[in-house]
Amino acid sequence: SAVSSVAIQLRDVFANVLKIAASDIVDGTSPQDVATWDSLATVVLIGEIETHFSIQFDFDEMLEFENFGSIANLVEKKFVAA
């Protein structure tokens, strides 16, 4: 998939919150793969993403947070529409 500026910025947000290298984050990266990605980290990630991109997720959207790729797609859609 083409790497957009949104995905690049999002990767940095993930790397900072999860304390992992941005280069280790791929579309399939999920809580199952990352020891630091627990439920608290998900809450922090949501807050950081919303702040960074000036967007707001609703509850249904948060349920779609399966992996980096699914979150990136959601952010792309909301960010472009914002």
- Please choose, from the candidates 29, 67, 28, the residue with its C-alpha nearest in 3D space to the C-alpha of residue 20: 29
What is the pLDDT at residue 48? 98
The answer to whether the beta carbons of residues 57 and 50 sit under 8 Å apart is yes
pLDDT (average), residues 61-71? 92
Given a cut of 80, is residue 3 above it in pLDDT? no
Query: What does each C-alpha distance from 80 to 27, 43, 55, 72, 76 come to in angstroms?
Result: 19, 23, 10, 12, 6
Given a cut of 80, is residue 8 above it in pLDDT? yes
pLDDT tens digit sequence for 10-55? 999 999 999 999 999 999 999 999 999 999 999 999 999 999 999 9
pLDDT (average), residues 48-70? 94
More confident residue, 63 or 69: 69
